[in-house]
Amino acid sequence: TRVCYDCHGPDLAGQVFMDAPPMGTIYASNLTSGNGGIGGQYSDTDWVRAIRHGVGADHKALFNMPSEAFWSLSDADLGALIAFLKQLPPVDNPHPAPEYGPVSRGLIALTGAFFSAAHIDHDAPRMQEVEAAATPEFGAYLAQLCAACHQADFSGGTHHGPPDWPNTANITPDPEYGIGKWSEADFFRAMREGKRPDGPDIHPEAMPRTIGNMTDDELKAIWLYLQTVPPVASKGKE
């Protein structure tokens, strides 16, 4: 649920996600059953559609919903996530409708940017559920969340976050552009403290906020998996 908190706020009652004149003012939804929330209206089917497919209960695409990362969640893990969302304490926090700025409108019209429903393969097979252990196989499962920001090939680049956030890093094992020179200890410190061994600190909205609370086995699994992905000798997609 850590990724949910990043956008939807500490109580998951929603918050300002983006507030920049060229992009517009966008609010992340209130996920609780309080006033202005969707929790009391969503059925299990609605939750599945929103999380896996990026489509709301009204059958409209959801803005910036990272469904490409959640598509691979096993049925058991998705069920646990939905059960957690359904028991959230209600918080009254209505939000105004989004106001898209000229840049957002242009990107949406030309590329479908910010709407994962337009880009993911809704019929793609999901990954097999694997044992939770410090293995590359389990790391491959967990790393789908990393791919939401770092791209499917983990080469980094542009993202769908607020415009003042920096591009995401290349986390492939390339020694020049990626993390090929990092040790496992370097990786753990980067994830838990936001400290790189070879450059400035990581943006605080990314690490350690996003996955810094993962267990040792989970982080080691991701580390082991990232050692197996093809190195990409670039700074990522612009």
Q: Quick: pLDDT tens for 161-178.
A: 556 677 889 999 999 999
Answer whether residue 237 shows pLDDT above 70.
Answer: no
pLDDT score recorded for residue 83: 97
Residue pair 16/7 in contact by the 8 Å Cβ criterion:
no
Is 235 part of a structural domain of the chain? no
What are the E-state strand segments in 72-142? Answer: 99-100
Task: Return the CATH number at 166.
Answer: 1.10.760
Considering the domain architecture, whether residues 109 and 144 belong to the same structural domain is answered as: no
pLDDT score recorded for residue 121: 83
Boundary residue ending a domain (86, 118, 150): 118
pLDDT in tens, 20-42: 888 889 899 999 999 999 999 99
pLDDT in tens, 183-199: 999 999 999 998 999 87
Answer whether residue 132 shows pLDDT above 60.
Answer: yes
- Count of domains for the chain: 2
Considering the domain architecture, whether residues 106 and 157 belong to the same structural domain is answered as: no
Considering the domain architecture, whether residues 145 and 188 belong to the same structural domain is answered as: yes
Residue pair 181/198 in contact by the 8 Å Cβ criterion:
yes
pLDDT score recorded for residue 152: 84
Is 232 part of a structural domain of the chain? no
Nearest CA among 32, 20, 17 for reference residue 63:
17
State mean pLDDT over 65-84. Answer: 89
What are the E-state strand segments in 37-184? Answer: 99-100
For the chain, counts of helices (H) and of strands (E): 9, 3
Domain residues for 155? 136-226
Q: List C-alpha distances in Å: 61 to 77, 88, 120, 185, 233.
A: 23, 24, 12, 40, 34
Is 124 part of a structural domain of the chain? no
